[in-house]
């Protein structure tokens, strides 16, 4: 089974994404393997891995970062496992961008979210 950064299990992510996005009554549906935050952070981190100049542009990444921050605020009060994964992915993104302070901050948020769930 493939995974992204050893955080996102691809099979479960796709399964839950399809289920959540098919349920039009709740656009913010979340499962342990899918949430809007996790979706956006997968796209953001994946933008480093493609050759498409539109996807890799600073403007596209800025849009995805803004969406990720908005989703994090929406999900942060009641974090699910997918919220924790999304915060970890955001930390990975910032670390890859050599913004280590932000990388540590979002990774730390993920750790605190995990304590909220305990």
Mean pLDDT of the chain: 89
Q: Identify the band that residue 110 occupies on the pLDDT scale cut at 50, 70 and 90.
A: very high
Domains: count for the chain: 1
Residue range of the domain that includes 71: 3-117
CA distance 22 to 31: 13
Q: Is the whole model's pTM more than 0.75, yes or no?
A: yes
Q: Which residue has the higher pLDDT, 5 or 44?
A: 44
User: Tokens in use for 94?
Assistant: 């910032």
CA distance 15 to 17: 6
What's the pLDDT at 1? 38
Max intra-chain CA distance, the chain: 42
Percentage of residues in the chain with pLDDT exceeding 70?
90
């Amino acid at each position: 089974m493939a995974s992204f950064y050893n955080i996102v299990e691809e099979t479960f992510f796709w399964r839950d994404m399809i289920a959540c996005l098919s349920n039009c009554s709740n656009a913010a549906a979340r499962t342990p393997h899918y949430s809007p935050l996790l979706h956006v952070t997968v796209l953001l981190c994946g933008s480093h891995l493609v050759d498409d100049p539109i996807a890799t542009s600073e403007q596209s990444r800025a849009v995805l970062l803004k969406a990720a921050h908005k989703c994090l605020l929406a999900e942060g009060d009641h974090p699910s496992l997918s919220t924790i994964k999304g915060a970890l992915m955001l930390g990975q993104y910032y670390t890859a961008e050599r913004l280590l302070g932000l990388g540590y901050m979002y990774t730390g948020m993920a750790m605190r979210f995990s304590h909220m769930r305990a």
